[in-house]
Structure 1
């Protein structure tokens, strides 16, 4: 029987007065690192029409930096949630559950989602969400304005899970580097991909990727050393990385277990001029 995966969630609370102030948090012209220890109660916020819910906003559009998406970590108490969750009719979303249980209703169809659950919500769809069970539910909510293209249909909503999708090994790497893709990369209806990247201990991204897609990376499991622009940065379970377009990047997974992260990138569209 396959052992259920555990996914990182913010620890909340506040550190003791005795803790050192220094940490791995950094914000540069090309990238930012938000360590898990930064995601405390003092930086949470609340959203209109969400009840018994708090949110860590870990990415937002900013001129000259990340420009295409926002990324929230939502914590919903049992019975909390929203019947009016999305205020922007042009925004599409991806939900990824890391803890607890939610009931997601999309256009009247109900889905129960637990840790590892994944949902795509197209722009303009009607949905609502409620926390279930005895403990808070935690999920990622990634939002992007959908870029419609004449002659190409908009994608439909779907619900799946990490466990239901087999990772695709990357070429010529002996299986140590794989990507769990929830949509077909060649499906031009989609203008963003939210995937899970897995590197086994000792696995590497073996070149300095430099590309137009901007990234948000939340570490679900494990630890690694990540190259970001000119720097090597240690990252671990619960950390977040925010990469500007064209920021050079590479990775070395140190073990002892797999290194996995939830990855956002914008794809499949012309550049606005």
Structure 2
């Protein structure tokens, strides 16, 4: 790692219990058991107030986790940002190939496994949370690619497009979405809701309202939105602002 070229500074904004903006420049690698030849950065965890954990993973050639990730009540999701990996549930025998835009949801009853035998680095988003079981409903494994999903207008706005990656029925207590704002484009109003989000910006630049403060964000940034934090964005760059984000859903609030 080279010496810094200027005064140390960061665009990171960390408000525990409320929200966080995590730019890529400050990420560090973590050693996590079962992961071989993987450079892993933990983007968010319960230590900041989140109810889930999300990682940015560079899987080197021959990198893998064949012992399993999640399971025992923990549901997992992987999204391939670039490169190629092979994934499967631990109890299944056949691997599935994911290219850029590909994703795999593994239910809480099983473990996710993956390997990289492509010869090139694969870049992934990896997600886990404890499943909120609803009697009579059981989620199943889901495989897809965002490039094969039709987008729809978000709240009737043609300038904002939405893709749902997981089924919307009650088997699932979470979903993953991709929201894309043309420039200029924005939310129809400042949202305030109980759902949490973890958002990774895939392209573009924007100004994000978080708890009624405005912050610049851009491709490669990760944003955690805590429950009930006011939030909205304007797309301000030369290309559409697009991000993939998690959402808890389909369950009543606990007391």
- TM (norm. structure 1) is 0.88
Aligned residues: 252
The match for 1:33 is 21
The match for 2:7 is 20
1:16 deviates by 4.3
Give the match's secondary structure for 1:255: coil
1:87 deviates by 5.0
CA contact (8 A) 1:51 1:80 kept: yes
C-alpha distance in structure 1 between counterparts of 2:156 and 2:209, whole Å: 21
Give the match's secondary structure for 1:207: coil
Q: Aligned pair in 2 of structure 1 residues 87, 195: CA closer, same or farther (>3 Å)?
A: closer
* 1:272 partnered with 2:251: no
Q: For structure 1, which runs of at least 5 residues remain unmatched after alignment? A: 1-13
Q: Aligned pair in 2 of structure 1 residues 15, 220: CA closer, same or farther (>3 Å)?
A: farther
Match of 2:128 among 128, 143, 149: 143
1:111 deviates by 0.8
Q: Which runs of 4+ in 1 moved over 6 A?
A: none
Q: For structure 2, which runs of at least 5 residues remain unmatched after alignment? A: none
Match of 1:224 among 206, 212, 215: 206
1:23 deviates by 2.4
1:37 deviates by 1.4
| C-alpha RMSD of the superposition | 1.5
CA contact (8 A) 1:200 1:255 kept: no
CA contact (8 A) 1:168 1:179 kept: yes
Match of 1:78 among 40, 61, 64: 61
1:209 deviates by 0.2
C-alpha distance in structure 2 between counterparts of 1:15 and 1:161, whole Å: 38
* 1:159 partnered with 2:159: no
Deviations 1:135-194 (A, max 9, x none): 211111110111111122x11102111101111211331x21111101233x01110111
CA contact (8 A) 2:70 2:111 kept: no
The match for 2:113 is 128
